[in-house]
Amino acid sequence: MPDTQRPEWWFYHLSRTALEVAAPPLMQKCLEAGWRVLAVSPDMERLAKLDAALWTFDDASFLPHGQAEAPGLDAARQPVLLSAKLKNANNADALVLMDGTDAPVEAPFKRCMVIFEDGDKDTRARAREQFKAAKDSGLVTRYFQQTSAGGWKEAGV
């Protein structure tokens, strides 16, 4: 990413579905844009559930991905890399932060996407802090709330 480009920060507030259901379509949109994705969570159980969801969320296809911690995995070749660590081993353009994972506000990505579940108060509070930090730094910030149908509606914040 050129030094002149600063990341956009997009926030996804889940209230209807689990993260494992909501994240795959967002990742698919990134791949359709020609971007690689790094998805980070310190929760290995979350990563395992997301791994399974990426294989099955669409009956017609799957999202090519791998888990960074898997033995023998060539992380650099993975279009979507699931990881417990914030290490851009697949040269990702989009960063997906889950379960309160933090990244520098000027992280070297085109887009940083924070996905958080409404019922997780600690993660929701962390997302608010991240939103404020990005906004205070003059970065593009967008906030989406899940609709009753499971889609997204941008909310004015």
CATH of the domain at 109: 3.40.50.10110
Distance CA(84)–CA(4), nearest Å, equals: 28
Residue 90 structure tokens: 């697949």
Identify the pLDDT of residue 22.
93
- Has residue 65 been placed in a domain? yes
Regarding beta strands 8-14 and 80-83, do their DSSP bridges make them parallel or antiparallel, or are they unpaired?
Answer: unpaired
Give me the phi and psi of 76, to 5 degrees please: -65, -25
Which domain covers residue 76, as residue numbers? 8-154
34 located within any domain: yes
Split into its structural domains, the chain has a count of 1
Inside any domain, residue 1: no
> Does 41 map to a domain?
yes
Instruction: Give the confidence band of 58 by pLDDT, cuts at 50, 70, 90.
Output: confident
Instruction: Answer yes or no: is 2 within a domain.
Output: no
Q: Is 100 domain-assigned?
A: yes
Asked, for residue 76, whether it belongs to a domain, the answer is: yes
Q: What is the pLDDT of residue 1?
A: 40
Between 55 and 39, whose confidence is greater? 39
CB 16 within 8 A of CB 146: yes
Would you give the distance in Å from CA 153 to the centre of its chain? 17
pTM: 0.94
Quick: pLDDT tens for 88-141: 999 999 999 999 999 999 999 999 999 999 999 999 999 999 999 999 999 999
Instruction: Give a yes or no: residue 3 inside a domain.
Output: no
Per-residue pLDDT band for 3 (boundaries 50, 70, 90) equals: very low
